[in-house]
Structure 1
C-alpha cells in the first residue's frame, strides 16, 4: 500500500493539531480540544495517514457497531489533507483505507463530505473519487450561504424590515451572555419542534472559552431589552450562524435583519456567510419557511452530501 494508517490516541494530539493548522482544508472544529469536548459519547477511531514517514492526511472518525463514520459529533468531516495533495494520491488513499478497514473488521464506511465554503482552498476531488469507487450517496442536505464577494442584496421585504430596524434604536453586543442566549434557543426549539439544542449551555461556554477567536455569542438589544442573536463560528474564509434565534419582541423589531446586516458589514473581509441546513428527514424534505427566510437575505443553496460503502459483505 502507498499509505499506512495509525489510529489516533491522546499522545498524537500535538501532531494532529499541528497538521490541522497547516492543512489546506482543516477547520478549528477538527482540533482535538473541539472534537473531544463530548468524547464520552463516541468511540473515537480517527486516523493519521502516513506516506513513508510524512503525515499526509487525517480523518476525524468514530466507530460504532462495526461501522466507521466521519465523526458523528461533527456537522461535516471527510479527509483533511496536506497542501498539494494530488487527486491520484487521494484515489489511492481511499483504496488503501478499504484494505485497512477490512483488516480492522469494519463492515461499512460512512463518509460525510465537508462543503467547499469552509475550506481554505476549495477542493471537491473526494467527490470524484467517491463516485469512481462505487460509494452510494444516501443523503443530500441543502444548506444556504451568502457569497459576500457577489452579494445579491436583500429581497424587498427584508430591505423594508432592515430600514424599519434602523428606527428601532437597536444595538449589538459582540460579547453576549451565552447562558441568556441558550435559554432562548431552547425555549424556541421546545415550543416549535419539541426538542432542544444539540449543545448544552455548559458545552457552549466551554467551547467559547477554548476558542475565543472562532466562537462568539452576538446578541441584539433595544436598550436593555434582549431580542435574540446568534452563536457564530468563524474560520478560514467563512462565518457561520450555528444558532440564529429571536424572541417575539425581536421579530417585531426586525432584529434578524439588523443582525445579518451587521454581520455582512463587520465581516466583509470573509467570503461566505453560512446559515446551515434547511432540510429534514435525511435531506428528503425542505423546510420551506426556513429556506425562504435565508433566501430573503440573498442566500443561495449548496449541497452537503453523505456517502457510504459496504466494505465487508
Structure 2
C-alpha cells in the first residue's frame, strides 16, 4: 500500500515555472554546467520524440538564478521523469547542499500537487553520470517516495583490466586476422545490414530508435553518439553504438555478423572501449528480455566476462493527497 505523506513546508524563496520555449537557451546552458545533467536532458534530445509525450517539464528559480530543471511528461493525472529517456530526474546546479536539493524537490512536488496530479514517478540520474558525488544520497523515504521499480544494470568501473582469458584470447585472434577498429558516425549500412536483421531475429521487434532518429540526434549532438566498428578490409563485421558522456560510455546498441563472431570482432571492440581515455565507467545496460522480463543468463555472463558488476537503479513514486 502506498503512503500519502504531507509535503514539507518550504523555507526558501523558490519559484517553479513550467518550461516554455522562451527558456530554451537557459535550459540548454544550465544542463551543460549542471552537477548531474547529460545531453539526454537537453531540449535538443528531449524533443526529438516530443510528439509522443505531453511535456510538463519545470524549472526552479531563486530570484534570477536557475537552481534546477526537471524534465517530465504527463499521462492522464500522472507525471513521469521520464519514459522517453534511460533516466530523467532532478538536474541540479553545482554545489547545492543536500538541504537545498530537498527543498527544490519539495517545491516541484508542491507545483504538481496544485495541478491536481495523482502521482509522480522519477528515475533519477545514476550517481556515476554526475559531476558531483552524493547526489544519490537523497533520502527519498523521508521525502515521501516509495520504490516502485528497480533496474539491474551492468557496469564496468575503471581501472579497466581485461582479466578473462577467453576474452584476451579473442582480442589476440581478432588482431591476428587483421581486424581494424574505426570511430565515426552511425552509418545507415550498419543500421540496416547488421542492426535491424539482428533485432528481427533475436528480439522480434525494431530498436527503440529508428535510423532517422539516430541520424537526427547525432547531428544535434556532435561527438556524443558514435559508432565504434570493426572492419576486415572493407567488410563491416561488427559495431557498437555508444552514447558518450564526459565520464561514462553507454553501450546503446551492438550487432555482429556471423563472420564477425568467428573473428571475435566484439571482443576487439570492447577492448577498444576499455582503452578510451578519461572514461570512468562503461554502462552495458540490462540483461533482461524486454518482452518476457526473463533474465538472459548468456548475456549476463558475456558482460561479466569483461569485468562488469551489477548496479541497481531505482524508480521512485510519490503519491499526492
Same fold (TM over 0.5): yes
Q: How far off its partner does 1:279 sit?
A: 3.1
Whole-angstrom distance in 1 between the partners of 2:30 and 2:78: 25
- Contact 1:165–1:255 (CA under 8 A) maintained in structure 2: yes
2:225 is the alignment partner of 1:225? no
> Could you list the per-position Cα deviations for residues 3-55 of structure 1 after superposition, in whole angstroms to 9, with x for gaps in the alignment?
22111111110010111111111111111111111111110011100123321
2:139 is the alignment partner of 1:161? no
Whole-angstrom distance in 2 between the partners of 1:4 and 1:144: 38
What residue ranges of structure 1 are gaps of 5+ in the alignment?
none
What residue ranges of structure 2 are gaps of 5+ in the alignment?
1-9
Q: How far off its partner does 1:218 sit?
A: 1.8
Where is the helix percentage greater, Structure 1 or Structure 2?
1
TM-score, normalization by structure 2: 0.91
Match of 2:296 among 281, 287, 291: 287
Q: How far off its partner does 1:186 sit?
A: 1.8
Whole-angstrom distance in 2 between the partners of 1:286 and 1:124: 29
- Contact 1:110–1:306 (CA under 8 A) maintained in structure 2: yes
Whole-angstrom distance in 1 between the partners of 2:161 and 2:269: 17
More displaced stretch, 103-112 vs 284-293: 284-293
Whole-angstrom distance in 2 between the partners of 1:248 and 1:131: 49
2:284 is the alignment partner of 1:257? no
Q: How far off its partner does 1:244 sit?
A: 1.6
Whole-angstrom distance in 1 between the partners of 2:213 and 2:110: 37
Whole-angstrom distance in 2 between the partners of 1:285 and 1:140: 14
Which residue matches 1:74? 85
Q: What secondary structure does 1:245 align onto?
A: strand
Which residue matches 2:30? 19
Whole-angstrom distance in 2 between the partners of 1:132 and 1:152: 40
2:277 is the alignment partner of 1:268? yes
Whole-angstrom distance in 2 between the partners of 1:283 and 1:52: 49
TM-score, normalization by structure 1: 0.93
Aligned residue pairs total 309
2:187 is the alignment partner of 1:178? yes
- Contact 2:156–2:281 (CA under 8 A) maintained in structure 1: yes
Q: What secondary structure does 2:80 align onto?
A: strand
- Contact 1:139–1:307 (CA under 8 A) maintained in structure 2: yes
Q: How far off its partner does 1:285 sit?
A: 4.2
Match of 2:104 among 93, 103, 126: 93
Q: What secondary structure does 1:166 align onto?
A: helix
Match of 2:45 among 34, 46, 64: 34
2:314 is the alignment partner of 1:311? no
Q: How far off its partner does 1:153 sit?
A: 2.2
CA RMSD of aligned residues (A): 1.8
Which residue matches 1:242? 252
> Could you list the per-position Cα deviations for residues 235-255 of structure 1 after superposition, in whole angstroms to 9, with x for gaps in the alignment?
221111111211211111100
Whole-angstrom distance in 2 between the partners of 1:14 and 1:55: 12
Whole-angstrom distance in 1 between the partners of 2:316 and 2:185: 38
Whole-angstrom distance in 2 between the partners of 1:68 and 1:301: 28
Whole-angstrom distance in 1 between the partners of 2:310 and 2:186: 31
